[in-house]
Homo-oligomer: A and B are copies of this chain.
Amino acid sequence: MTKVTAQLSVSLDGFYAGPRHDGAGDWLASVEAAAFFRVTRWAISAMSWRERQGFAGGERDLNSDVIQENFDAAGAYVMGRRMADGGEVPWGEEPPFRAPVFVVTHRPRQKLERKGGTSFTYVTDGVASAVEQAKAVAGGKDVAVAGGGSLVRQVLAAGLLEELELHIVPVVLGTGLRLLDADLGLGHKEGIELTPIRVLHAPDVTHVRYAVQGRAPLVLDDRGRGDGQ
């Protein structure tokens, strides 16, 4: 049964990257990148991540297993335009996805076929359409929202996300791009409720997987009343 999932590495204060790079100068030297590489450091060390990128070495550990499991679960991906553009050259002829990727964009573009099972289809009619197209080809596996963070947030805000795994990295960054920010458009005394369904912890990261229950009112809870009501 296909689920719509997402996973993202975030700092303890909820940032997946530093403040957005303004485009001048080298992205790798930016504050955005410094924070991004700090919160993804655990993954870059993992053997399963390195193998998908064609790199040697890495640790065969819990973190590597978590990444491998997420790769294995995905039958198709949905991706933001900025991430897709940024990855196009570094990922090369054989990108790490090995599955169809649906890129949400405003600019029509011909489908891009890559080696190893990866393709990029450019979807111009919105996030929900991209998710539907990905579901149709996922072969019963999951549709993984690959990122970036703003696309994950859009899918969550639209009520389309079923599972969210956060890789919570023990660093406080103070500023940057947040996964869960005010753009979620929650109403007065309204929250999005989730249920933790798996917690795994390594020394450098805590992996918490949530099932998304959806929007719900924040009901004043009076169990703290002294009369036991």
Residues of A within 8 A of B (CB): 11-14, 18, 28-29, 31, 33-35, 37-38, 41, 44-45, 53-57, 156, 166, 168, 170-175, 178, 180-182, 184-186, 188-196, 199, 201, 203, 206, 208, 210, 218-221, 223-226, 228
Taking the closest CB of chain B, its distance from the CB of A189, in whole angstroms, is 5
Instruction: Report yes or no: A203 in contact with B195, Cβ–Cβ below 8 A.
Output: yes
Residue of B with least CB distance to A200: B199
- Residue among B11, B29, B186, B195 making CB contact with A174, cutoff 8 Å: B186
Taking the closest CB of chain B, its distance from the CB of A180, in whole angstroms, is 4
Instruction: Report yes or no: B201 in contact with A196, Cβ–Cβ below 8 A.
Output: yes
Taking the closest CB of chain B, its distance from the CB of A72, in whole angstroms, is 21
Bound: A194/B12 CA distance, A:
9
Instruction: Report yes or no: A170 in contact with B223, Cβ–Cβ below 8 A.
Output: no
- Residue among B34, B44, B192 making CB contact with A218, cutoff 8 Å: B34
- Residue among B18, B34, B170, B223 making CB contact with A194, cutoff 8 Å: B170
- Residue among B208, B221, B224 making CB contact with A53, cutoff 8 Å: B224
